[in-house]
Amino acid sequence: MTNSATKNDIIRRFYSGQSMRGIARELHVARKTVRRVIDEHKHDRTDGADASDLPAPRQRRGSQVDEYEDTIRELLARYPDITATRVLQELRSGGYTGGYTILRERVNELRPRPSPKLVQRFETEPGVQAQMDYASYAIEFSHEGRRRVNLFSYILGYSRRQYLHFVESQNLETTLREHIHAFEHLGGAAATCLYDNMKVVVLRHEDGVPVYNRKFLAFATHYGFRPIACQPRRPQTKGKVERPFDYVEKSLLNGRTFRSFEHLNEVTAWWLAEVADKRIHRHTQQRPVDRHAAEQPRLIPLPDQPYDVAEVVYRVIDCEGFVSFGRNRYSVPWQQAHPGQAVPVKVSEYEVIIYGPRINEIARHPRFPPTASHQHSQPKNHIPPRDQERRRELLREQFGGLGDIAVTFLEGLLNTQRNGWHQAQNILALLGSWHRADLLAALQRAVTFGAYSRDAIERILAAKAKPKSPLDQLAEDSRRHLDESLSQPPVPVRPMSVYQQLLFEESDSDGQTQSNEEEGANEAAGEESSNEEETNGDKLDDGETDDSALDEPAEPSGPEPT
């Protein structure tokens, strides 16, 4: 092939009057080449030159497949997913004797390919729409090593101002909490928010309609916005939140080293305020912080009280008086620590609150950071007294509450085991996993055979009983609390004069009216009491004895405290 420099030299010499033979001899090319270049030059000057650099279309040589091309097209039209192997089988029956490779290339060439739909960019008015998503990154921390973290992103569709925060998990509590932080950071919530099909937002799809998580809908109702689920496998629907992740990787994470998880979020907050919010956005050609100033008044105002996103779980008190959460342990006051008892625990972002059986708060601890593990929180007032006799007395009372067989087993345990008190405490902790009746049966069997040890009780339970489920534990606790409530003494009956002060306010202006009303009430009460005496007298005259009336104490003369 003749290059452009040789062609230029041939044409230049041709116009200078040199012969084709002389041009070919001096340039060391064939005379046919010189003639072809000159003819092409004359044709281009007459009919127009093709200045494009596109290669000439490839000329396909003839093959055995050509005569079967119509059959191949028909098969692909009927069966778009048919393989080249099946096409070969069909063509073999029609007399095709060619190879498989050339047929496969022709099938791939003729197979129709669906063209992707064009994505149309759309813009929204201020305060109308926001988009939310997560992105996961594996970051090498200089003090903590390599860890996988999740980036929460909430961006306003009009201003492009966003809230970013790295979190440990993508669960419901974390998602709701970060939404609240995003609303507070941006000064309100957009009317709608786009989500992909994450389980914390969308549980499933039924007939193409998303079924939302009830807890998330309650959260959205509290703040007044409407969640909208995107179509599955179509990330272009929320491109405003997808595209900034690339900007985060190139501007925030690229070329920086982070000491710890906390340091990462500190740098992220600085980067948001000083870089992301103040840059000129490529599409809007304005700074996000400036457009947000116009969008913020159009956002939904925040409520006076934020949504309570604290997680409530049930935890069993262990033999040392602790409950576990997040690989850490939090103590229960020794006076209310009953090993094996399930108690509700409320976990917020910064606190762990432990409640008693009657849903009364019994302990409050600062929550350990997500990166902490195997830590213990135990205030001094939660530690039991060092008086060994007092602790043993409490342990005897707990065994006594189980019955005589438990007391008998405890005595045998203390007489035969050197660490009997410690084993006794661990045996009480078994109530958290086994039914009370099964534990008593195991104690009875152990006493019968003289097997006074914790290991013996555990072996008997494993062989003869079935562990109780969490629902059984809750039912047992509720039954015990109900029995305690019903065993309390009833509220005594009070005279009507006690409630008069709730109906009438004492004042100097209407003091006389109040006194008259009290006298009328007293007279009415006296008439009722006289009627009751007459009725009782009639009953006694008929020979019936009212024992309850004889045993009932007399009402006090003065009003009782309310």
Q: Would you tell me the crossing angle of helices 404-416 and 420-429 to the nearest 10 degrees?
A: 140
Q: What would the DSSP string read from start to end of 162-204? A: EEEEEES--SHHHHHHHHHHHHHHHTSB-SEEEE-S-TTTEEE
| 159 part of a folded domain | yes
Token pair in block for residue 449:
């055979």
Q: Distance (Å, rounded) from C-alpha 164 to C-alpha 182?
A: 8
| 317 part of a folded domain | yes
377 shares a domain with 427: no
What is the distance in angstroms between the CA of the first residue and the CA of the last residue of the chain?
A: 113
Of 437, 453, 468, which closes a domain? 468
Element (H, E) at 459: helix 454-464
| 305 part of a folded domain | no
3-state secondary structure of 562: coil
Q: Give just the sign of the alpha carbon dihedral 423, 429, 433, 434.
A: positive
Bridge partners of 376, per DSSP, are 329
Bridge partners of 312, per DSSP, are 346
179 shares a domain with 321: no
Angle at 318 between CA 458 and CA 422, to 5 degrees: 60
353 shares a domain with 215: no
User: Comparing C-alpha atoms, which of 360, 316, 353, 358 is closest to residue 338?
Assistant: 316
- Give the domain extent around 278: 129-298
Burial 215-224 (b: 16+ CB within 10 A, else e): ebeebbeebe
232 shares a domain with 343: no
Q: Distance (Å, rounded) from C-alpha 149 to C-alpha 261?
A: 9
Q: Distance (Å, rounded) from C-alpha 382 to C-alpha 322?
A: 10
Distances, alpha carbon 142 to alpha carbons 136, 164, 257, 260, in Å: 19, 22, 7, 7
Residue 277 has a pLDDT of 94
Total count of residues recorded for the chain: 562
Token pair in block for residue 518:
């009290």
* CATH code for the domain of 39: 1.10.10
User: Comparing C-alpha atoms, which of 163, 160, 157 is closest to residue 191?
Assistant: 157
136 shares a domain with 272: yes
Q: Distance (Å, rounded) from C-alpha 151 to C-alpha 170?
A: 9
Q: Distance (Å, rounded) from C-alpha 271 to C-alpha 343?
A: 43
- Contacts of residues 403-409 at CB distance under 8 Å and 24 or more positions apart, as own/partner, are 403/440, 405/440, 405/443, 405/444, 405/447, 406/440, 406/443, 408/447, 409/443, 409/446, 409/447, 409/452
DSSP 238: G
Label residue 332 exposed, middle or buried (CB < 10 Å: 0-12, 13-18, 19+): buried
Element (H, E) at 206: strand 202-206
Residue 345 has a pLDDT of 94
| 536 part of a folded domain | no
Q: Distance (Å, rounded) from C-alpha 154 to C-alpha 131?
A: 6
Q: How many domains does the chain have?
A: 5
233 shares a domain with 333: no
Q: Distance (Å, rounded) from C-alpha 235 to C-alpha 401?
A: 62
User: Comparing C-alpha atoms, which of 348, 349, 354 is closest to residue 378?
Assistant: 354
Are 441 and 465 spatial neighbours (Cβ–Cβ below 8 Å)? yes
284 shares a domain with 157: yes
pLDDT tens digits in sequence order for the chain, 562 residues long: 568 888 888 988 888 888 888 888 888 899 899 999 998 888 888 876 665 565 666 666 778 888 888 999 999 988 988 999 999 999 988 888 888 999 999 999 889 877 666 556 667 899 999 999 999 999 999 988 999 999 999 999 999 999 999 999 999 999 999 999 999 999 999 999 999 888 999 998 888 888 999 999 999 999 999 999 887 666 556 566 677 888 899 999 999 999 999 999 999 999 999 999 999 988 889 999 999 999 999 999 999 999 998 888 999 998 888 999 988 999 999 878 888 888 999 998 889 999 988 788 999 999 998 778 899 999 988 887 777 777 788 888 889 989 999 999 999 999 999 888 889 988 988 887 888 899 999 999 999 999 999 999 999 999 999 988 877 777 776 776 666 666 667 777 777 777 776 666 544 444 444 444 444 445 444 544 444 444 444 443 444 444 433 334 444 444 433 3
Of 468, 499, 524, which closes a domain? 468
| 152 part of a folded domain | yes
CA 93 to chain centre: 59
| 259 part of a folded domain | yes
Q: Which residue has the tokens 């620590």?
A: 337
Label residue 319 exposed, middle or buried (CB < 10 Å: 0-12, 13-18, 19+): middle
90 shares a domain with 27: no
Residue 443 has a pLDDT of 94
| 478 part of a folded domain | no
Residue 554 has a pLDDT of 41
| 274 part of a folded domain | yes
Q: Distance (Å, rounded) from C-alpha 23 to C-alpha 16?
A: 11
DSSP 255: T
Of 468, 485, 517, which closes a domain? 468
Q: What would the DSSP string read from start to end of 274-314? A: IIITTS--TTT-S-HHHHHHHHGGGSBPPPSS-----EEEE
378 shares a domain with 394: no
236 shares a domain with 150: yes
442 shares a domain with 326: no
Residue 116 has a pLDDT of 65
257 shares a domain with 179: yes
